[in-house]
Amino acid sequence: MATRVLLFLLTNILVVFTIGIVVRLLGVDAWLTDQGIQYGPLLVMCFVWGMAGSLISLLISRWSAIRAMGVHVIDPQTTNAAERQLLQRVEMLARGANLPMPQVGYFQSDAINAFATGPTKARSLVAVSTGLLRKMDDREGDGVLAHEISHIANGDMVTMTLLQGIVNAFVMFLARVIGFALLRRDSDDSGSIGFQGYALIMVIQTVFMFLGMIPVAAFSRWREFRADAGSARLAGREKMVAALQRLQRDVESLKGHPTPANTRAMMITEAPGLMALWATHPPLEQRIARLQSGT
């Protein structure tokens, strides 16, 4: 649920910073000369490397999710009855959405959690937590699985990648322009801004990256509503409503109790105040109300 977005955003931030360091070390970021900022080359560089960072995050999304979450990918030839049942449920929903069969797996977590990821519809992964398998009945589980299948069918990872790439480009561009303005041309004869200048740019870029997550999070909330509607079409509205209500009860029961560090960031909770701008999921009450009203 929240896992997919958080992993993608974290991977994107790490990749963008790595690219920035590599570009700097290789000396191919020739946007600053004796004549000042070359806005054309700077804009091209930021667009190319910003999109590259987002695309790399997409390409390794399935690989990184499996390793970060410790996902056990189920062998399609498994003889385990529980694993076979999970495969069959996903296969039925994927067929209903006219999708190729994705990889299916599960990971250890007491929280109710699930996610879908992957660079293409043909190279996707649907993974559920052991907590979901234990706490949800088949009806509720089908609602969640259909929700994740809908994310794949909607191409949400690709659209998220394009949006994040544009945000990356603006973040890199504005960080360098503002950083240079603050430095007041504190550079050597070669046009280099030096280590201190580059460190300042990285600080500004970090702040802008955080602010840039606001429109990405807003898009993520919108696509959650769309995936809920897709689940209602695939599995039935009552199943998706039941799944969200069960998740709501689980979240309420965990309030005030300590949660494991590896699952705390993945849980869907209502963000207070301004932090709601960075929430990747709408409040459960809104999602349930929208499904029940049929909007």
pLDDT digits 0-9 by tens, 119-151: 999 999 999 999 999 999 999 999 999 999 999
Tokens of 261: 């560090």
Closest CA to 217 of 154, 278, 156, 283: 278
Q: Which residue is listed with tokens 């603006």?
A: 170
Q: What CA–CA distance (Å, rounded) separates 186 from 60?
A: 38
Q: Any idea which of 12-26, 56-70, 189-203, 253-267 has the lowest mean pLDDT?
A: 253-267
pLDDT of 14 reads 72
pLDDT tens digits, one per residue of 252-281: 876 655 444 433 333 455 566 788 888 888
Q: Which residues contact 224 (CB under 8 A, 6 or more apart)?
A: 280, 281, 282, 287
pLDDT of 29 reads 59
Residue 179 clears pLDDT 70, i.e. is over it: yes
pLDDT of 233 reads 96
Residue 192 clears pLDDT 60, i.e. is over it: no
Sequence-ordered strand ranges (E) for the chain = 32-33, 36-37, 72-73, 103-107, 114-117, 125-129
What average pLDDT does range 173-198 have in this prediction? 71
Residue 187 clears pLDDT 80, i.e. is over it: no
Measured in whole angstroms, how far is the alpha carbon of residue 74 from the centre of its chain? 23
Average pLDDT across the chain, whole number: 84
pLDDT of 30 reads 60
Domain boundaries, the chain: 1-295
pLDDT of 227 reads 96
What average pLDDT does range 25-36 have in this prediction? 62
What average pLDDT does range 92-101 have in this prediction? 97
Residue 226 clears pLDDT 50, i.e. is over it: yes
First to last CA, the chain: 21
What average pLDDT does range 62-86 have in this prediction? 95
Q: How many other C-beta atoms are found inside a 10 Å radius of the C-beta of residue 199?
A: 12
Q: What CA–CA distance (Å, rounded) separates 107 from 66?
A: 9
Q: What CA–CA distance (Å, rounded) separates 173 from 155?
A: 28
pLDDT of 53 reads 81
Which among 83, 91, 140, 148 is annotated as catalytic?
148
pLDDT bucket at 32, cuts 50 / 70 / 90 = low
**Cβ atoms 80, 104 nearer than 8 A:** no
pLDDT of 52 reads 85
Tokens of 206: 């970090």
Measured in whole angstroms, how far is the alpha carbon of residue 257 from the centre of its chain? 26
pLDDT of 67 reads 92
Q: Any idea which of 86-100, 128-142, 180-194 has the lowest mean pLDDT?
A: 180-194
What average pLDDT does range 27-45 have in this prediction? 72
What average pLDDT does range 200-214 have in this prediction? 89
Task: Give catalytic status of residue 148 as yes or no.
Answer: yes
pLDDT bucket at 36, cuts 50 / 70 / 90 = low
pLDDT of 264 reads 37
